[in-house]
């Protein structure tokens, strides 16, 4: 009998990746392509949705030929997608052409609108309905911004000529035929990040739609995260597409955090700590988001509390691409190890303002503690430590919201290859940090969900048994040192706040 | 005796030109400066780019010297980069073989463990990254010695200490073992560091096939080796596949 595999597509912020997994949840083949980041103005971040679709075509064909033994399309049991969340694409229903570039989740152009919404109707209005506070982070504000800045767009949307989607909607629509009957769908996890979905009913919320002026016909149908949506017509004709999840929810699923109280943190461009809260919709009092973790078929949805950190790996990329102090991301560790400590230097990477737990759109990045003594090595330390301290702030918020304190942190993502960073996180959290045997958990989670829906795996317990620790870092920092460093970090954060003045202030 | 190879002379001239200027140069500028046809200059630049001696700016299309040139002569590969590129394949190897996986590079007459994946049996294990192993008594070390990644003399200088009665403690024993490694393409360590434990390792190759490190499995001798003390063929296949995937990722096209 020929071996069959599950294909997972991870459409991330920097790249599009395609991975084949076998029944043991083990990686068989991988292909990846980066796409261009467009920064047309300070704070603006855009992607070309057509480039991303082309990249997907390439990685799918590469992954089938790249695994030593070529894999036939018929050996693919199912396709699952995970995607960068909140990134907003609008396209023409009839031609399939995107109406401008996609506005990326890190983009802060909607900042002034956030301030308005905070004043009126106020946070409660939104928290009650979608579980999210107003922030530049979410899709609805981007749709509004586009309507207000692209002539005729709002009318065309009202006339039903325009489709909205996050990346999974765009890709599923193209995979299933595009202009020729493509499916226009999203899943509950992605929809929960738009600010347009009611977090309790998992349907588009009429009041929110009315508030943002978003016409219903442009929105995709909200489906569960794991069910047969349809068959691919492009790339792998006839293969069922059976899962879609936002990348962070996919990582939670890939880490097999299926029980309430289980949590993971994924270290990528940004970092995202998600805690499974079961079927309860828990409202945070400490700056965390309420979000849908996953919904399998017609089973009740499972919710999560999320601590979103906008800039972690992106700071390393900035260090590499914009400052040119290293030539590859992993070299940050080599450079950081040239010195013993941070030399008194701290970097607060509030490039897109600060996300959880502070939610301050008016913050911008700062480097503090500069003296003649500081070398590029100290800066490299400060870059890595920024990820550690931001994790600490989110974990503190989570512990304050939850009855049980976190005892161990499950981690994944590209930055887990950085041993210095992982040790630092264990040190500042004062709990062990564990990486599982598959660090590509975003892809694995989408693969798991797709395989479950397609009957490739029978139940969640089978998936749980595939989870094994691959590395574990134990805390060993002196408590006094930890406290004084944390205090320095918080003082550095204070200095990043309020840098962007609200309109009207001189 | 053959005369100088023209294309290599031209390639050298292009590198000198790029090294001399403070800024990136376009194809037209390179061709004009050296009196070459654009097609000729382009072919050479493409080849130099392929071996990373030259880099092309994605937006302007202009050329500059590549990072690989700076590291020439030191066979430089950042160990953290090596870990990052290997992590997926090392995980898959541990998951398939059921054994612990380590990656090693040479450091001052020893093997530096640059990556470690636990044995996937959920038992309590301690992370070994940063630990040093003896070159002559570890399978990782034997690979590094056999392919010249670690100089043979450095092993002798560190001393061929006997860890068990199986440790290779003479220059002759070690020389013979390394010749076997080169012949087979893998190294085995059978209870040479501690009784009851065995290891198997193969080379990881970078650009041009240069061995930049080693990847190895280790565990109880009865799981790694058969009753004749030979490593199990299934493990050799798995570890070779992993090394090939990593090497490909590092730019060693033929492996």
pTM of the full predicted structure?
A: 0.81
Domain boundary among B70, B103, B121: B70
Residue A417 belongs to a domain: no
User: Quick check: B127 and A472 CB within 8 A?
Assistant: yes
**What b/e readout covers B2-22, taking b as 16+ CB neighbours within 10 angstroms?**
eeeeeeeebbebbbeebeeee
> Same structural domain for residues B147 and B41?
no
* Per-residue pLDDT at B253: 60
Cα angle A154-A171-A40, degrees, rounded to a multiple of 5: 60
> Same structural domain for residues B179 and B84?
yes
User: Quick check: B80 and A417 CB within 8 A?
Assistant: yes
For residues A319 and A263, what is the distance between their CA atoms, to the nearest angstrom?
Answer: 29
For residues B128 and B146, what is the distance between their CA atoms, to the nearest angstrom?
Answer: 24
Residue B244 belongs to a domain: yes
* Per-residue pLDDT at A451: 95
In angstroms, the Cα distances linking B144 to A117, A431, B109, B141, B207 are 62, 36, 11, 5, 16
For residues B38 and B6, what is the distance between their CA atoms, to the nearest angstrom?
Answer: 16
How far does A176 lie from chain B, in Å, by closest CA?
Answer: 31
Residues of chain A found within 8 Å of residue B78, distances taken between Cβ atoms: 328, 330-331, 334
How many domains does the structure of chain B reveal? 2
For residues A473 and A432, what is the distance between their CA atoms, to the nearest angstrom?
Answer: 6
Best A8, A471, A475 residue to mutate vs chain B (most B CBs within 10 Å): A471
Hey, what are B124's tokens? Answer: 């309590």
What's the CATH code of the domain at B131? 3.30.450.40
Residue B232 belongs to a domain: yes
Comparing A137 with A380, the larger pLDDT belongs to: A380
For residues B161 and B109, what is the distance between their CA atoms, to the nearest angstrom?
Answer: 13
Residue A90: which of A153, A172, A178, A37 has the closest Cα? A153
Residue B105 belongs to a domain: yes
ipTM of the prediction: 0.80
pLDDT class of B1 with cuts at 50, 70, 90: low
pLDDT tens per residue, range A449-490: 999 999 999 999 989 988 999 999 999 999 999 999 999 999
Best B127, B129, B237, B255 residue to mutate vs chain A (most A CBs within 10 Å): B127
* Mean residue pLDDT across chain A: 92
- DSSP states of B119-184 as a string? -TT-------TT-EEESTTSHHHHHHHHTTSS-HHHHHHH----SSTTS--SHHHHHHHHHHHHHH
For residues A289 and A404, what is the distance between their CA atoms, to the nearest angstrom?
Answer: 18
Contact between residue A86 and residue A138 where contact means Cβ atoms under 8 Å apart: yes
Residue-range definition of the domain harbouring residue B49: 6-70
Contacts of A412 (CB under 8 A, 6+ apart): A251, A254, A255, A264, A265, A266, A267, A435, A436, A438, A439, A440, A441, A442
pLDDT tens per residue, range A244-301: 999 999 999 999 999 988 899 999 989 999 999 899 888 888 999 999 999 999 999 9
Residue-range definition of the domain harbouring residue A314: 309-403+475-496
In angstroms, the Cα distances linking A56 to A49, A78, A174, A298, B81 are 11, 16, 11, 29, 26
> Same structural domain for residues A220 and A87?
yes
Residue A217 belongs to a domain: yes
Hey, what are A498's tokens? Answer: 């309020």
Residue A387: which of A423, A431, A435 has the closest Cα? A423
pLDDT class of B70 with cuts at 50, 70, 90: low
pLDDT class of A506 with cuts at 50, 70, 90: very low
Contacts of A58 (CB under 8 A, 6+ apart): A31, A33
> Same structural domain for residues B66 and B84?
no
- Which candidate from B78, B122, B245 shows the least CB-CB separation from A469? B122
The conformation of residue A343, written as its DSSP 8-state character, comes to T
Cα angle A395-A401-A402, degrees, rounded to a multiple of 5: 85
How many domains does the structure of chain A reveal? 2
pLDDT tens per residue, range B143-165: 999 998 888 888 888 788 999 99
What's the CATH code of the domain at A261? 3.30.420.40
pLDDT tens per residue, range A351-385: 988 998 998 888 999 999 999 999 999 999 999 99
Residue B255 belongs to a domain: no
């Amino acid at each position: 009998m020929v071996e069959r595999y599950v294909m997972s597509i991870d459409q991330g912020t920097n790249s599009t990746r395609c991975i084949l997994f076998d029944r043991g949840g083990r990686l068989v083949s991988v292909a990846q392509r980066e796409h261009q980041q467009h920064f047309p103005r300070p704070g603006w971040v855009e992607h070309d949705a057509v480039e991303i679709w082309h990249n997907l075509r390439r990685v799918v064909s590469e992954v089938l030929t790249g695994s030593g033994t070529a894999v036939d399309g018929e050996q693919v049991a199912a396709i699952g997608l995970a995607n960068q969340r909140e990134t907003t694409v609008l396209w023409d229903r009839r031609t399939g052409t995107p109406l401008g570039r996609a506005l990326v989740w890190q983009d802060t152009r909607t900042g002034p609108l956030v301030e308005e919404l905070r004043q009126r109707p106020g946070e409660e209005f939104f928290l009650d309905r979608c579980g999210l506070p107003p922030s530049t982070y979410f899709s609805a504000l981007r749709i509004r911004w586009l309507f207000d800045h692209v002539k005729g767009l709002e009318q065309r949307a009202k006339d039903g000529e325009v489709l909205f989607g996050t990346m999974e909607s765009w890709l599923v629509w193209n995979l299933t035929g595009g202009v020729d009957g493509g499916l226009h769908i999203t899943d509950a996890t992605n929809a929960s990040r738009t600010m347009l979905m009611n977090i309790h009913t998992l349907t588009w919320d009429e009041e929110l739609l009315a508030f943002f002026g978003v016409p219903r016909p442009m929105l995709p149908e909200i489906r569960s995260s794991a069910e047969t949506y349809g068959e691919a017509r492009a790339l792998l004709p006839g293969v069922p597409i059976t899962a879609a999840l936002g990348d962070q929810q996919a990582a939670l699923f890939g880490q097999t955090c299926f029980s309430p109280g289980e949590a993971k943190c994924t270290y990528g461009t940004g970092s995202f700590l998600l805690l499974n809260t079961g079927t309860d919709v828990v409202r945070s009092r400490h700056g965390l988001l309420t979000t849908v973790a996953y919904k399998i078929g017609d089973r009740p949805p499972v919710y999560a509390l999320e601590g979103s950190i906008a800039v972690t790996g992106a700071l390393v990329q900035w260090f590499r691409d914009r400052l040119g102090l290293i030539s590859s991301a992993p070299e940050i560790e080599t450079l950081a190890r040239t010195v013993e400590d941070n030399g008194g230097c701290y970097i607060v990477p509030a490039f897109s303002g600060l996300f959880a737990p502070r939610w301050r759109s008016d913050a911008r990045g700062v480097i503090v503690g500069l003296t003649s003594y500081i070398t590029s090595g100290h800066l490299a330390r400060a870059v890595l430590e920024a990820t550690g301290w931001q994790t600490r702030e989110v974990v503190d918020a989570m512990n304050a919201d939850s009855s049980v304190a976190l005892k161990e942190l499950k981690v994944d993502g590209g930055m887990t290859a950085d041993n210095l960073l992982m040790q630092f996180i264990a040190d500042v959290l004062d709990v062990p940090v564990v990486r599982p045997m598959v660090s590509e958990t975003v892809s694995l989670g989408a693969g798991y969900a797709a395989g479950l829906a397609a009957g490739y795996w029978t139940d969640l317990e089978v998936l749980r048994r595939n989870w094994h620790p691959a590395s574990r870092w134990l805390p060993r920092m002196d408590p006094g040192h930890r406290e004084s460093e944390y205090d320095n970090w918080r003082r550095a954060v204070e200095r990043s706040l309020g840098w962007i003045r609200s309109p009207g202030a001189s | 005796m053959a005369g100088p190879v023209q294309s290599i002379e031209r390639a050298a001239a292009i590198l000198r030109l790029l090294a001399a200027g403070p800024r990136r140069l376009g194809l037209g500028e390179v061709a004009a400066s050296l009196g070459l046809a654009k097609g000729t200059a382009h072919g050479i630049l493409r080849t130099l780019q392929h071996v990373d001696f030259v880099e092309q700016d994605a937006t302007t299309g202009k050329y500059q010297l590549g990072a690989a040139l700076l590291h020439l002569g030191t066979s430089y590969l950042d160990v953290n980069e090596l870990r990052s590129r290997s992590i997926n394949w090392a995980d898959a190897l541990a998951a398939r073989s059921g054994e612990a996986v380590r990656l090693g590079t040479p450091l001052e007459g020893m093997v530096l463990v640059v990556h470690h994946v636990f044995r996937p049996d959920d038992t309590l294990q301690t992370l070994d990254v940063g630990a040093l192993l003896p070159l002559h008594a570890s399978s990782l070390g034997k690979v590094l010695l056999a392919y010249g990644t670690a100089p043979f003399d450095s092993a002798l200088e560190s001393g061929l200490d006997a860890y068990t009665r199986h440790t290779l403690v003479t220059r002759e024993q070690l020389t013979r073992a390394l010749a076997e490694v080169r012949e087979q393409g893998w190294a085995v360590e059978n209870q040479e560091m501690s009784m009851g434990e065995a290891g198997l390792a193969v080379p990881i190759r970078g650009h041009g096939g240069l061995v930049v490190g080693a990847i190895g499995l280790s565990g109880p001798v009865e799981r790694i080796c058969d009753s004749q003390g030979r490593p199990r063929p299934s493990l050799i296949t798995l570890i070779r596949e992993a090394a090939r995937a990593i090497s490909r990722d590092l730019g060693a096209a033929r492996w």
